[in-house]
Each structure stands twice: as C-alpha cells, then as structure tokens.
C-alpha cells in the first residue's frame, strides 16, 4: 500500500509515476530514476515505493534547489504560482518562494510515508549549477521526470540528461501545458511522439 500523498499533483499523477517506475523495474530496463523539480517529494516517493516493493537497488537522483522556483525568463509566458513576470529579474537564479520545500522537509515526508532514503541522491542547487556536473557520473537513465515549470529548468536537464535515457525508458513532462516548458521539450522531442496520460505528457524512447 502506498502511503505517499500527492502534493502539487493529483492521485492519478502519483499513481502514473508509480506504475511507470514499477513497470520499468519489472521489465529490467537499465538505468536510474531522476526527477528534476522535487518540491515536497511526492513523485520521488512514488518511485521509491516501486523500488522498495520490488526489492530493487535502483538509484534515484532528486534534483531541486530546495528553495523554490527561480524567476521566469523571456521564454516563459508568466511566473508559475504568481502570475505576471518580473521583467527586472528575468532568468534570475533566486527563489520566488513558490513551491519552496527544504531538503529536510522532503526527508521528513519520506519518513512519514514509511520510505527509506537508501540510494536516493538529493542534489541541492539550481539546475544550471548541478545538472551538468552530476550528469558526468550518470550512465543510463530509465526514467527522467521533468517538473521544473520553466523553460530553462526544463531545457538544462534535457540538454545533459536526455541522451542518457535508454531505449524503452520514459521521459515524463509534468508542465507540458506551460508554454516555456513546452518550447524546451520540443527542442528534443518531436511533438508527434508525445503521449498523454490525463494531463501529464510523456515520451517513450
């Protein structure tokens, strides 16, 4: 039984992440699980639940500032969670305070959901500073989940991690409905190859 509670998402979204993770493990698809944009930890919680249910040793990389979403850039229509963009701070890597959850609070959620943090690598910092560096130690990716809301927060993970997604691996795009996110995704994935589960976009490589 999954005790993970959906935060910034629906039960359906959470169940989809669990199902994809579970299927990838059962199909012996090589590679780690990654989320870029962890927030309260619900989606990596679903990944971890699938890992524990299958006695798997898959690694999860959990990238987040653990401070909240940064400022939107010229490629974004608006500022998620706020509305109008601040034109004096376009692309600024400082927190807007939206979706702010500390690393400590995410670990507390894991404890409350009866999940361990074994093989979970929490990577704290802005994606522009962390993803390129950590990508060097990552060989294969079975599941890449993108939940960064913004153009740059989607583009950077795709630039360094998309090529490492293995055949049969999944890319889940939580914010495909946001223009900036969609613009970044379409630089790497043809629109005709994107599928949908309710309002969540995904791609199978």
Q: Quick one: pLDDT at residue 86? A: 75
In a domain, 6, yes or no: no
In a domain, 28, yes or no: yes
Domain of 34, in residue numbers: 11-204
**pLDDT value at position 83?**
73
Flag whether 171 is in a domain: yes
Distance CA 202, CA 145 (A): 9
pLDDT beneath 50: ranges in the chain: none
Residue 130 lies in a domain: yes
pLDDT at residue 164, as a whole number: 98
Residue 3 lies in a domain: no
Question: Strands (DSSP E) along 110-188, which ranges?
Answer: 120-124, 141-146, 165-173
Q: How much is the pLDDT for 25?
A: 98
Q: In the prediction, which pLDDT does 36 show?
A: 97
Q: Return the CATH number at 86.
A: 3.40.50.150
For residue 100, tell me if it sits in a domain. yes
Number of structural domains found in the chain: 1
How far is residue 165 CA from its own chain's centroid?
Answer: 14
Tell me the pTM. Answer: 0.93
DSSP-derived 3-state class of residue 171: strand
Residue 81 inside a domain? The answer is yes
Is 2 contained in some domain? no
So what's the pLDDT on residue 81? Answer: 67
């Amino acid at each position: 039984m999954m005790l993970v509670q959906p935060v910034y998402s629906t039960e359906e979204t959470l169940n989809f992440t669990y199902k994809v993770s579970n299927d990838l493990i059962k199909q012996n698809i090589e590679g780690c699980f990654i989320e870029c944009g962890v927030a309260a930890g619900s989606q990596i919680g679903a990944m971890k639940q699938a890992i524990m249910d299958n006695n798997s040793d898959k690694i999860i990389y959990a990238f987040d500032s653990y401070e909240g979403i940064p400022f939107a850039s010229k490629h974004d229509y608006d500022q998620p969670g706020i509305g109008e963009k601040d034109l004096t701070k376009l692309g600024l890597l400082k927190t807007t305070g939206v979706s702010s959850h500390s690393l400590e609070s995410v670990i507390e959620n894991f404890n409350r959901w009866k999940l361990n943090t074994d093989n979970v690598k929490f990577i704290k910092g802005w994606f522009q500073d962390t993803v390129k560096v950590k990508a060097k130690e990552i060989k294969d990716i079975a599941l890449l989940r993108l939940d960064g809301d913004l153009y740059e927060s989607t583009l950077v993970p795709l630039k360094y991690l998309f090529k490492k997604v293995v055949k049969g691996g999944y890319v889940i795009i939580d914010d495909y409905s946001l223009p900036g996110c969609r613009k970044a995704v379409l630089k790497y994935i043809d629109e005709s190859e994107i599928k949908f589960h309710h309002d969540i976009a995904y791609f199978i490589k």
